[in-house]
Amino acid sequence: MASAWDDPDDVADPGVIEPGRLFRALPGVPERLVLCFTPEAVSSLLAETGAAPLPGWRTSPGCGPLHVLPGDALPGDTLPSDTLPGDGAPVAIGCPGVGAAAATLMLEQAIARGVREVVVVGGAGGLVDGLDLGVPLVVTDAVRDEGVSGRYLPPGRTVAADPEVTRAITETVAGAGHPVRAVRAWTTDAPYRETAALVARRVEEGCQVVEMEAAALLAVAARRGVRLGVLVFAADSLAGGTWQHRRWLAAAEAHRHLLDLAVAAVRAVRPQPVIAHLVDEGTDLTARTVRRRAVRAVVRRGDRLLMTRSRFGDYGFPGGGLEPGESPAEALRRELAEEVGAQLVSTGELIGVAVQARRSIMPEWDTFVARHEYYPCEISGETRPVVLSGYEADLDLRPCWVEPAVALAANRALDEAFLREFPWALREAAVLEWLLDPGRRGSSGGQHLS
């Protein structure tokens, strides 16, 4: 019988039904979302805060309504007040269907509508002793023993949670007075086929809990370029191959407390520093939108940067789009080798993000949005000659070491006709200008060139 692993080469291909074509961006959609698998906890929070349903949200089986928790609305008294971030950010609250396939329906629509950071919260069965009912557990990664993740990512045993969202969850849990316990989850589609032998094998792999959605949701987030973390509580137990129900479904206080922790955690996620947000005239950001995530290397040597120069005289940072399943570091390593013949030694923390939106040249899409992440990188030795292909060969891109001010002046000197055809030069000029002026974006937390 066919499985998700039979055709790994088509993982990079777009789907016949793409969420970006079905769902337009909605005004008022928060960038932060909590997906909660305990309906009674969601109902309690909505009744307490008066959160309103999001107009225009499309419901379907497995994809219920989405509500918006206002920025000035805080969860109830289940958390100490000093654990709640005061950034006033609105948060979307949704209760997805149970199981990997159903849960991804809500997440995919939310991402297409504009969500960027997600905390998932729900119950999980304990596989080892010592997980008391209701104990908060921070999921670091999940074993992919379900069918969904194989259609979003290349074959692999596990998929990891986003580090920044995981940090926010961890610090929120600790701030609420709980000991922090990080766990690996086992995601399965077959809860009635968790045999004693299989439980033992998953424990040998390092799994401490079992649930039905984490790996799938993490895979969707990785594919779509959003940040997602998972917080679960110890529900029933399968430790030792014996099932103990523990009346976890009736533990309403634990369910609500975990939801409050999730809301506080998603508000504690640090925003990525935005270097530039460029939207071409006439671009409809609510239309059918295809999104692309790319990484760019900022390599310094003294007072110069490693950049590429085209035959037109413009400069760009080496890099390109992430392939399915690639981490930023893996994509940077590949792009530096392919584009400038350089060997990556190390990468640092994200410097900042430049977002560029324009009308799509592809007839099936109206709008193209590219999100470029810039990372400080160190390379080994010198660049080496490479064989370019496609548009890179047409542009005759060549690596060079150049002073930032020289590259900025060259990109600024390009005429409007060139920039309409090659809009990246405008983006790179904005990034160079930002890097050269520490005071221009000093409050965003990014790094600057001295």
Measured in whole angstroms, how far is the alpha carbon of residue 308 from the centre of its chain? 28
Q: What gap in Å lies between CA 79 and CA 172, rounded to an integer?
A: 10
Domain boundary among 242, 267, 292: 267
Buried b (16+ CB within 10 A) or exposed e, 191-205: eeebeeebbeebbee
pTM above 0.85, yes or no: no
Q: Domain range spanning residue 412? A: 274-444
Band of residue 39 on the pLDDT scale cut at 50, 70, 90: very high
Query: Which residues fall within 8 angstroms of residue 421, CB to CB, at 6 or more apart?
Result: none
Instruction: Report the candidate in 394, 428, 431 with the shortest Cα–Cα distance to residue 315.
Output: 428
Same domain, 230 and 306: no
For 53, phi then psi, to 5°, come to -65, 145
CA distances to 31, 142, 172, 295 from 122, in Å: 21, 14, 16, 33
Same domain, 301 and 191: no
Domain boundary among 267, 290, 305: 267
CA atoms within 13 A on the CB side of 317: 29
Residue 22 lies in a domain: no
Same domain, 282 and 262: no
Same domain, 230 and 352: no
Same domain, 162 and 299: no
Same domain, 309 and 355: yes
Residue 315 lies in a domain: yes
Same domain, 178 and 126: yes
Question: At which residue do the structure tokens 């430790």 appear?
Answer: 239
Band of residue 422 on the pLDDT scale cut at 50, 70, 90: confident
Same domain, 248 and 288: no
| Identity of the residue numbered 180 | V
Same domain, 263 and 294: no
Instruction: Report the candidate in 281, 297, 196, 207 with the shortest Cα–Cα distance to residue 242.
Output: 196
Q: What gap in Å lies between CA 238 and CA 245, rounded to an integer?
A: 9
Tell me: the pLDDT tens digits for 183-201?
999 999 999 999 999 999 9
Residue 403 lies in a domain: yes
Domain boundary among 212, 245, 267: 267
Tell me: the pLDDT tens digits for 370-419?
889 999 999 998 888 888 777 777 788 899 999 999 999 999 888 777 77
| CATH number of the CATH domain containing 281 | 3.90.79.10
Same domain, 295 and 407: yes
